[in-house]
Amino acid sequence: MTDLQSMIRSLLRPEVLALSAYHVPDSSGYVKLDAMENPYSWPDDMVDEWLARLREARPNRYPDPSCGRLKARLREAYGVPEAAGLLMGNGSDEIIQIILMALKGRDATVLAPEPTFVMYRQIASSLGLEFIGVPLRGEDFALDMPAMRAMIETHRPAVIFLAYPNNPTGNLFDSEDIAEILRIAPGLVVVDEAYTAYAGRSFMPRLAEFDNLLVMRTLSKLGLAGLRLGFMAGAKAWIDEFDKIRLPYNINTLTQISTEFALEKRKVLESQVESILRDRQHLYEELARLPGVHVYRSDANFILFRLLRHDADHVFRKLKDAGILIKNLHSSGGRLAGCLRVTVGTPEENQRFLTALAETLAS
């Protein structure tokens, strides 16, 4: 062991040393169907108007630390109750980190059904917190409520994360199951609604019903992935505490101006969502026709499918060789063995994927 390695091991926490960095593959030159992005750009006239709006930016000055105008736009656009507080984040990842950094004691427990968004476990582990994963039901990826009840009773989690719809499975958990979890949870329940634009369901209207409910959103999946904006709504008493940890000026000037502008033009984004929903149905039907493929219904902008006769790693590599990048979940094992996930792209991108997949399965 070199002196540098010895110094690293002596200074860094073992939880950090044990982690692997979150890997984002190089997508240059590929049909990019791996990251649940909206595939559509803004119309040219909208881009021109946006660029004109950016002339207001003063990069020599710090951004508005409270995001006052942006918060007002978000409340109007997404029906955030007036009494609720809003926490702004550099993507939802930062909000997850803020929540977990605020927990009392290193023995606090974090719980989520799995498979789910990997950053719940990643961030909890990086902070030295115990993470409890409760397996979803194998046949439909629904919540296993007897197991959830038992784990909540045994571990008394400080925070429970519920992705709604869930990533990577795409399904909406039963709303009454979530309501029961809210009633029996000893701590916070964060309902992560990253894909709500494609699901049409939300717990935002129920914030006043549960003191321990926090609703988290991101605009990344709607078409603003490059801006990195997330927000969380909840009782003002909770939000005020979390806001003490939020780093000042975490939402930069360009993101604030651009997001305010996009929300003014949200009919354009909503029209794109409608196109993605139509294409999701077509993609689902075409995948279901392929022999040896089991397709899962999705309420998000991606589709999970399982290969029943073919090696998922081989199919993933063949698609990549054909210039198409999707997500290989087979290596995760467990409930995701044999599974691949494809983002809904443009009709042309979807057809390229379907053609390449059919050829690969037939070879």
| Same domain membership, residue 320 and residue 283 | yes
DSSP state letter for 220: I
Element (H, E) at 294: strand 293-295
Question: Residue 53: left (phi > 0), alpha (psi -120 to 50), or beta?
Answer: alpha
Question: Final residue of a domain: which of 212, 242, 264?
Answer: 264
Question: Final residue of a domain: which of 240, 264, 288?
Answer: 264
Closest by alpha carbon to 141, among 321, 300, 331?
300
Other CB atoms within 10 Å distance of the CB of residue 22: 9
CA gap 38, 280 in Å, rounded:
12
- Long-range contacts of 23-28, Cβ-Cβ distance < 8 Å, separation of 24 or more: 25/325, 27/325
pLDDT in tens, 159-196: 999 999 999 999 999 999 999 999 999 999 999 999 99
Residue 154 has pLDDT above 90, yes or no: yes
Query: Is residue 50 situated within a structural domain?
Result: no
CA gap 334, 114 in Å, rounded:
10
CA gap 250, 39 in Å, rounded:
27
pLDDT in tens, 58-91: 999 999 999 999 999 999 999 999 999 999 999 9
Region 12-26: mean pLDDT is: 79
Please report, for the domain that includes residue 217, its CATH number.
Answer: 3.40.640.10
Exposure string for 349-361, b = 16+ CB within 10 A, e = fewer: bbebbbebbbebb
Pairing of strands 339-343, 230-235: unpaired
CA gap 153, 185 in Å, rounded:
8
- Tokens for 26? 């190089």
| Same domain membership, residue 209 and residue 185 | yes
144 backbone dihedrals φ, ψ, rounded to 5°:
-90, 90
Query: Is residue 294 situated within a structural domain?
Result: yes
pLDDT in tens, 250-290: 999 999 999 999 999 999 999 999 999 999 999 999 999 99
Query: Is residue 290 situated within a structural domain?
Result: yes
Question: Final residue of a domain: which of 229, 264, 299?
Answer: 264
**Residue 98 burial (10 A CB sphere; 0-12, 13-18, 19+):** buried
Residue 23 has pLDDT above 80, yes or no: no
Query: Is residue 279 situated within a structural domain?
Result: yes
Query: Is residue 133 situated within a structural domain?
Result: yes
| Same domain membership, residue 226 and residue 95 | yes
Domain that holds residue 34: 3-43+267-362
Q: How confident is the model at residue 21 (pLDDT cuts 50, 70, 90)?
A: confident
**Residue 274 burial (10 A CB sphere; 0-12, 13-18, 19+):** exposed
| Same domain membership, residue 117 and residue 10 | no
Query: Is residue 48 situated within a structural domain?
Result: no
CA gap 148, 235 in Å, rounded:
25
Pairing of strands 188-192, 213-218: parallel
| Same domain membership, residue 95 and residue 173 | yes
Please report, for the domain that includes residue 300, its CATH number.
Answer: 3.90.1150.10
HEC string for 167-190: CCCCCCCCHHHHHHHHHHCCCEEE
| Same domain membership, residue 334 and residue 304 | yes
| Same domain membership, residue 181 and residue 168 | yes
Domain count for the chain, please give it.
Answer: 2
pLDDT in tens, 307-319: 999 999 999 999 9
Query: Is residue 49 situated within a structural domain?
Result: no
pLDDT, the chain, mean: 95
Region 22-34: mean pLDDT is: 82
Residue 28: what pLDDT?
A: 78
| Same domain membership, residue 64 and residue 13 | no
| Same domain membership, residue 282 and residue 251 | no
| Same domain membership, residue 70 and residue 125 | yes
Residue 18: what pLDDT?
A: 84
Side-chain half-sphere exposure of 19, counting CA atoms within 13 A: 18
CA gap 103, 173 in Å, rounded:
26
Q: Which residues pair with 230 in a beta bridge?
A: 89, 218
- Is the alpha carbon torsion for 6, 11, 15, 19 positive or negative? negative
Angle at 38 between CA 93 and CA 136, to 5 degrees: 55
Query: Is residue 51 situated within a structural domain?
Result: no
Q: How confident is the model at residue 13 (pLDDT cuts 50, 70, 90)?
A: confident
Residue 107: what pLDDT?
A: 86
Largest pairwise CA distance in the chain: 59
| Same domain membership, residue 235 and residue 121 | yes
| Same domain membership, residue 128 and residue 26 | no
Number of H helices, E strands in the chain: 13, 13
